A and B are shown apart, each in its own frame.
Chain A
Amino acid sequence: MTPERERRASELVARYPESQSALIPFLQFCQAHDGYVTQQAIHDAAEIAGITPGEAESIASFYTLLFKEPVGKHKIQVCRTLSCMLRGADELQQHVRQRLGLGNGESSPDGRFYYEEVECLAACDRAPCLQHNLEFHYDVTPEDFDRLLDEWRASDPGVSMPAE
């Protein structure tokens, strides 16, 4: 474990009555740097939590915001549930897929983009909506998306799934 991670781990462990509570925040912290939950992170987290690596992996695999393998740095998550569907999510999804050339759950070969259709993001009044690396964008039209995509293309999100 890097000294930074050790520091983080002890901070997290101190925060809770039991150390296993630090597991998920610690994995989020590691993912923010590594881009996904590595086996090393699983083993470190297991040690911190006092559980087996098998258990740590089982826990991590339950949560959709923890990625078990490398995914594109720009994570684009478009809502697909009822309220967004009623206000144009289908069209937006189609557009995004086509612009990115990606299907649901796919990453671009250059590792820059990841596309996913996700469940209700609690922004139904400003539908359709999406998240880019957990940042909300509301009332997104296809044109809005094109604009955003240009911005993203020009940028490099060092941290793709921020922890804090």
Chain B
Amino acid sequence: MSKQPARRNLTLTIDGRQVTVPEGTLVVEAARQAGFNIPVYCYHPKMDPAGLCRICLVEIEKIPKLQIACNTQVADGMVVHTMSPRVAEGRRGVLEFLLLNHPLDCPICDKGGECDLQDFTMSYGPGASRLTEPKLHKPKAVDLGPTIVLDEERCILCRRCTRFDDEIAQERNLVVNERGHHSLIATADGSDYRSYFSGNTTEICPVGALTSKAYRFRSRPWDLSHADSVCTQCSVGCNYRIDSRFGRIMRTFTRENTAVDDGWICDRGRYTFNYLYEPSRLRQPLIKRDGEHQPATFDEAIAIAAERLRTAARKGSVGIIGGGRLSDEEAFALQQFAREVLGTDNIDHRVGLQKYASPSRHEARLEDIDDASLIVIFGAITPEQAPILDLRLRRAVARRHAKLLFVGPYKPDLPVPCRHVEYTPGAIAELMEQLADVVHHGREERGEGFVAEIAQELADAERIIAVHNGRDPGAIEALEKLMDRLHDYDHPVGILVVGATGNARGAEAAGCVPNLGPGYAELGRSGMTAAEMFAAAADGKLDALYIAGANPALTFPDGELVRRALQRVPFLAVADQVLTETAAYADVVLAAASFAEKSGHVTNLEGRQQAFAQAIEPPVHVGSDLRILAAFAQTLGKEWAIPDDADALFAQLRHVQRAARPRSPKDPLPRPRVDETSLSSADQVDATHQRFTIIPVPRLYAGGGASAHDPGIAAMRPAPFATFHPDDAARIGVVHGDMVRLQGRGGSIDVEVHVGPQAPTGVALVLADMPQAPVNRLLDASGFGSATAIKVRSVAAAPPETIEVTA
């Protein structure tokens, strides 16, 4: 870790109180430490001081003019007054100016009750306005984009929002237009404010200028109850607060945990909760009778499912899938259910391409990104799969001069400079080995060329962080060996693995894999992996499947296989919050609680176990996965295996997990077993380009889980698309916006054509995880697929009319 030179401590006096702080501290922060809150509008601790609003004026002895506390650094012996008459006068002046043309529509403003303009005016403002002419007017209720509404009259031009978009998101789409008092917050003419982080601006806007569409006019802040929760939409695990009123969620709010989220959350995390109130939410269990799902009671559903699972278990012919969308306690309960109640090791949480959810060694923390000098992203599409982690990357690159190397099949859209190394399965492992070799042999023998260049960058880096997606076991091993080498040569290195699901790491650590028990305990035996269970079921060799909080019909790479398996297996039970594609096949569907409706722990991608509290009650016939599993255990006479008590389970889990941290290179964590089909090989790439290689690409708002049913998120979901290289598009005669049918091994999907240079030639980048166009129809179990492009005539026609086959 790069060392900052030790900073001197300085002592100053603020309002008569002595306070000692490190050199370089701003007066506003020093005052906070001394227990005085200096009012601020433009200042935000996560952003550079801007000195715009001037509300933070303080008096400093020996300096004639009032100074701004937000850009004045402390000095030894400095004497600061934050409440003197001059300061009061200065603040009153600034507030009077800010209120001059303010519409004072507080009764209908969402910020009412938590607005800094209201609060500071109350504490420091003038009693009455001296404005005697009509107020100046500006646009109100400006639709800024899919998530945000802007009231320019309420805006005090503190620029926190534009600075957030610039300094934090690095996207720079939200700007100030015009100048002087005509200044307006705006986007480029005719364009929307589209950002995965837009919701944060509504939080940091000190007034009611930026409000979120999801929360507008819905509640008053003093009517809300709060629950400290953790977002589980991805594996970063941002801390947030769920605000509810009369048992209904109204909004979510950041709950800063600097080490994890730095005080931000992404829009998917922030806005995914209204699906709970949609008709598609499962409010009670379903039982399939004569091919139709019929409502049932909780007890009925449990009784039927328990019986069928027991029968299959007796024959040793049962499989359990899931865990990555459950809490740690529930994942633990799920493997207890498999191993202790049903007596099988056929359990796996891996229903996508991810094989490993943790590094076996060199574990890094999210905060390590901040000090990294070189960041190697290995296949993970961080802006889409871990947006808040991506913010850290952006900051490290844009503001701390870290270098970014992206190793992947295509280059994702990143707002910061990034060097792309093309990833060809197989070849990449070789490259890593070469690099390890070169690093080992030292500077002199590095030679020239591409490998040498990268090796040089590695050798020059003070601290290296690798972020991978846990997918390609061969390549990951090679990467880890390279890290071993660098580590040997005293380079601090660290690895982060972006989870495929919100609690992938928790599920892995709780033992939801066929060969490892809780705490990565090696069992010395193994059940079937998910892929093997699907293969067996499709072959008629598995009698029952229980799937908890997973949607393999959409996420499992070989869609054709999984659909066959789900159809063929004699008994299928699924627990979920909505009727997913997978649940649609089930004989028994259990209605499961959401994270807001239960409490427990989740483990984020860096292995941090975080507690979340229950915010609201679930509907009557809805049970948490824990309650469902405990009910099964009880029905099957093994209640000792799964107590219906999260605290008790957590205590057990903690006990077995003690030793579960990744260890040294000599003693790495054991790996979950990987089946044959998952190993990718280089020769699968079709060099003739007669067909298109399919690479599924993730998007934040895609996915087949609960978020797909959220009206807010649904509005932002992209339409299914395939991106072709311009040369390919020209060759097959399609243009941006055309519809094409992609025909693959397990069926076809219709997608819109995008054209862009990010697609390598011969490749179609196809949006993943979209129920209306499941890319897994085109893929095999290794995630590899190819397709012919079939051009269609009309964009609007559905189903598309086939006229011409080109490839």
Contacts and interface: CB of A to CB of B under 8 A. Distances in A.
A54 B174 contact: yes
Interface stretch (B95-103, B182-190, B359-367): B182-190
A52 B177 contact: no
Given A42-B188, A42-B189, A57-B189, A52 B179 contact: no
A163 interface: no
Contact of A52 (B173, B176, B178, B190): B173
A61 interface: yes
B172 interface: yes
A62 interface: yes
A55 interface: yes
Contacts of B173: 52, 54
Interface residues of A, number: 12
A57 to B, nearest CB: 5
Contacts of B190: 39
B165 to A, nearest CB: 9
Contact of A55 (B172, B179, B189): B172
Interface in A50-70: 51-58, 61-62
A54 B179 contact: no
Contacts of B171: 52
A53 B177 contact: no
Interface in B158-178: 171-178
A85 B174 CA distance: 40
B139 to A, nearest CB: 15
Interface in A94-152: none
B189 A58 contact: no
Interface in B175-229: 175-179, 186-191
A61 B176 CA distance: 9
A54 B195 CA distance: 13
Contacts, number: 37
B210 to A, nearest CB: 16
Contacts of B176: 58
Contacts of A53: 188-189, 191
Interface in B106-126: none
A56 B188 CA distance: 8
Contacts of A61: 177-179
A55 B175 CA distance: 6
B157 to A, nearest CB: 13
A39 B172 contact: no
B180 to A, nearest CB: 10
Contacts of A55: 172, 175
B178 A57 contact: no
Contacts of B186: 54, 57-58
B172 A57 contact: no
A23 B178 CA distance: 17
A149 to B, nearest CB: 31
B175 A57 contact: yes
A42 B190 CA distance: 13
A54 B173 CA distance: 5
A54 B172 CA distance: 7
Contacts of A51: 172
A55 B166 CA distance: 10
Q: Which 10 A-B pairs have the closest CB atoms?
A: A58-B175, A54-B188, A53-B188, A61-B177, A54-B173, A54-B175, A52-B172, A62-B179, A61-B178, A57-B188
Interface of B: 171-179, 186-191
22 contacts: A39-B189, A39-B190, A42-B188, A42-B189, A51-B172, A52-B172, A52-B188, A54-B172, A54-B175, A54-B186, A54-B188, A57-B177, A57-B186, A57-B189, A58-B175, A58-B176, A58-B177, A58-B186, A61-B177, A61-B178, A62-B178, A62-B179
Interface of A: 39, 42, 51-58, 61-62
Given A53-B191, A54-B173, 4 more contacts: A54-B186, A57-B189, A58-B177, A61-B177
